[in-house]
Structure formats: structure tokens, C-alpha cells
Chains A and B, each alone.
Chain A
């Protein structure tokens, strides 16, 4: 079973997001997503300063098996991409909710974050997907 931390928000497309104290949102892919992709080999995170729109594909994670887009759950400005993933893409496999974060975005509208799935709803979506 995959791990779905209760304090995060999610998209059905398997991104997670955490609202930080400074008003930015940290984004990554869920434990379920990393398991499904298998060992990650390349990660292309967006450059700081880039404007992104909710629903936009703004990062790429590529595993031994397949390449997959990562969608931003919110609109805003990218403040950081995780530079460590350049040399250690496997951080997403080993610590998807921690050291494997992909990007940080200063969001325009907190309502977009609030509209994301909570852990219970995401877990239910996963259960529906696998049955």
C-alpha cells in the first residue's frame, strides 16, 4: 500500500502539495506515483521565475519505464526547482514527500490549494483506480 500523508493536498493525477508558512506551495509526486513509475532516471524541474497556470504541465519525471508530466495544481510563479534531483532523481523514489520535492510555487490564489483533494479523498481515488 502506498503512503498518503494526512497533512497534504493532492490531485487525481498524483501530484501532492503542501502550503508553507511563507505562502508558497511545495509540489511533488505521490508515493503511489513513484511506485507506478519505478526507478526515476531524469527529472526536469521548472526554472525559478517561470509563470505557471493551474493544470499546466511544468515538470517532467522520467523513469526506466516511462516519461510523465507533472501538473501544477495552482497558478503562480515558480520560486524554486529542486536542484538535488539533477544528480539524484532517485530521491523521488526514496522520499517522495520530503527530499524528493520537485518545485515550489508562490500561488496567486489560496482557494486553488483549498480546492485540491484531501488525503481521504485521494486515498479513495487510488482505491477506485486499482479496483
Chain B
């Protein structure tokens, strides 16, 4: 038996099929993954993401600590509640995890890390914290529910009380607000508008039911994966890990090179990769034939070399197969993928594939 979130019994009672995800028993779907996917693209869906780990980091020197620890620069965060997406790197540039960090106040940042990497992340955070006097506190008392979709904020606002709703509806993209027992942020992993809501674990089941009654559809990890892939968002463990750097994983935009004297962990290794014209690149793939891209399939770029599909699926929105792949630097606009023993043509495109319900690549 795996770890269970405070909503596990709720999922089982709703008929969810469950699956192991990073050591957690999580709902993969409640019936049809494709219907759940469309619910998020067209209306409002919700995901139990309580398996992800909220970590509060406190101390007088917490800002300097995070400027050393993260490849993106928390100095960009000047307004309370503002969020930043970053990789946390090893000295050799390998990705320990990707995460979101919120600036709460000068002595308090809140981080959200992946479920499967929780233990090694906490170990790393504590190891690096020693020189900075930073307290690392995992918030295992919190549950987290993501409500996503064009109507998600309005529907969720109807069940959080008017005072909090007013504040939450005013949040800009990538901002969060703490109010009473709730922390609400306008973030997500689907390419749609929405909120990620942290709340006390003991209140999660009741709140989930209220959201359901407000017309928010329960969605499993299956739909979460097709939605994030359409949105061109990476999944740790598939698209990047400790053997790959952000520059080879389509995450170069999250590396803050300026100011030049900020010596974040992994900087020297990344600088060397950046200067190397042969550093592999990370691309989107679109298949026109009736075949589905899956992770670990071999990519062949004629006269250039080989690469690998890191994530692949059938896109319910585009009705085509899409994927992400790590390929040689010289790859142009076409390649072939070996799918079940056959070579299938694929177009190289720039992710995302879908944003806010609309295709962002030519079909």
C-alpha cells in the first residue's frame, strides 16, 4: 500500500481507478480520462495534488539561501505572494527537482516540490540550509487542490466565502494570497486559468464536495498528464532528472544568468553547456499518422543523429499525438520516431501545443 492523501477515501467512493505515483496511491481517472481533460479545457475540473509537498522556509537569510540554491533568482520577487518557477540543481547542472517558490515576506518563502522527490529534496534543502540558519518545515498538515479551467475560478469562488473570494479573484497570474486557513494561488499545470488551493488536511474532503456541488469535475492524474503535455509543461522524472540540465530540457528560460555574480549551485556547469554548440535541445513533436508517441521511443534525425521522446501522448484537444523530445542540437523541422517497430514521421514544433483551450501549433 502506498501513501494516501486526505482525499483518498473520497476518490475511491467516487469510483476512481487508482495508480501508484511516486509512492502515492492516486486517482488516475474517475471513468473517462478524455472527458476529464475536456472538462478542464472547456469548463472546470479539479485535481487532488496533496501528494505534492509544501515546504516553508524561514530565516533572516532565507533570500540569500534561495539565491544560492535555485537556478532562477528569487530577487525577482518583490511583491508578497508572487511566485517563481525554478529548477534546483546539482553542482553538475543535473536537475534535483523543479518547483514553485512564493515570496511571503522577507523572512518567509513557501516552496512546492514534487511528490516523488520529497525526501531527497528535504535532505538537500536542509543540507544547504546549515550555513544560512534557515528552518526547513514541510507542511504535511496541508492538503492541496488544483481547480483549473475557464470557469474554475468563478465556480471555486462561490464556495470560499465572499471576503476571500473577492481577494482571490483579484490575484494576478502567478500570485498567491494567504487568508485564514487557506492559501490560494493563481497557478496550475494545465495551460488553463485557475487556482491551486492549500488548506488544512482535515477540511479537504468537505471542501472537495463543495467544489463538486458547485460543478467542478473531479479529474485524475491521467487528464493531468495530457493537459500538462498539451500545455508544453515538463514532468520531473520524464522530461528532466539528475542526468539532464535545464538547458537540455527546454527550461533555459528559467535560468537567471543576471546578475553575473550570483553564484547559484550548478552555474559553472550550465555556463559550459551553454557555450557548447552540441548541447542537445528540447523540442515538441507532432505526429500526423495514426500512432502515439510514448516516452523512451527513439527519435531519428536523418544525417544528424538520434534522440529520445521524453513524454508522449494522444492529445484529446488536437486529436493528434504529441510529445516532447531531447534531440541533437542540429535538428531542424522534421524527424522520425520509431513506434512499435515502425518509423513514423514527426514535425518538430515549439511547445506549447494548447493554451487557454486553443491550439498554438499549426495542425
A-B contacts, 19 listed (Cβ < 8 Å): A35-B17, A38-B32, A38-B222, A39-B32, A39-B33, A42-B290, A42-B292, A44-B290, A60-B340, A62-B292, A64-B34, A64-B226, A64-B313, A64-B314, A64-B316, A65-B33, A66-B294, A67-B340, A93-B32
- Residue B222 contacts which of A44, A60, A65 (CB distance < 8 angstroms)? A65
Per the 8 Å Cβ criterion, residues 16-42 of B in contact with A are: 17, 28-29, 32-34
Number of A-B contacts (CB under 8 A): 34
Known: A42-B292, A64-B314, A65-B222. 17 other contacts (CB 8 A): A38-B28, A38-B33, A38-B222, A39-B33, A41-B314, A42-B290, A42-B314, A60-B340, A62-B292, A62-B314, A64-B222, A64-B226, A64-B316, A67-B292, A67-B340, A90-B34, A93-B32
A66–B292 alpha-carbon span in the complex (Å): 9
Chain A residues engaging chain B, CB cutoff 8 angstroms: 35, 38-39, 41-42, 44, 60, 62, 64-67, 90, 93
**Smallest Cβ-Cβ distance to B339: which chain A residue:** A67
CB distance from B229 to the nearest CB of A (A): 11
**Smallest Cβ-Cβ distance to A36: which chain B residue:** B17
A93–B17 alpha-carbon span in the complex (Å): 15
**Smallest Cβ-Cβ distance to B316: which chain A residue:** A64
**Smallest Cβ-Cβ distance to A69: which chain B residue:** B340
Q: Known contacts A64-B226, A65-B222, A67-B340: does B292 contact A38 (CB below 8 Å)?
A: no
CB neighbours (8 Å) of B290 from chain A are: 42, 44
CB distance from B318 to the nearest CB of A (A): 12
A42–B222 alpha-carbon span in the complex (Å): 17
A120–B332 alpha-carbon span in the complex (Å): 56
A44–B290 alpha-carbon span in the complex (Å): 9
A64–B29 alpha-carbon span in the complex (Å): 12
**Smallest Cβ-Cβ distance to B32: which chain A residue:** A39
**Smallest Cβ-Cβ distance to B289: which chain A residue:** A42
A105–B28 alpha-carbon span in the complex (Å): 35
CB distance from A68 to the nearest CB of B (A): 11
A89–B33 alpha-carbon span in the complex (Å): 14
Q: Are B34 and A39 in contact (CB under 8 A)?
A: yes
CB neighbours (8 Å) of A42 from chain B are: 290-292, 314
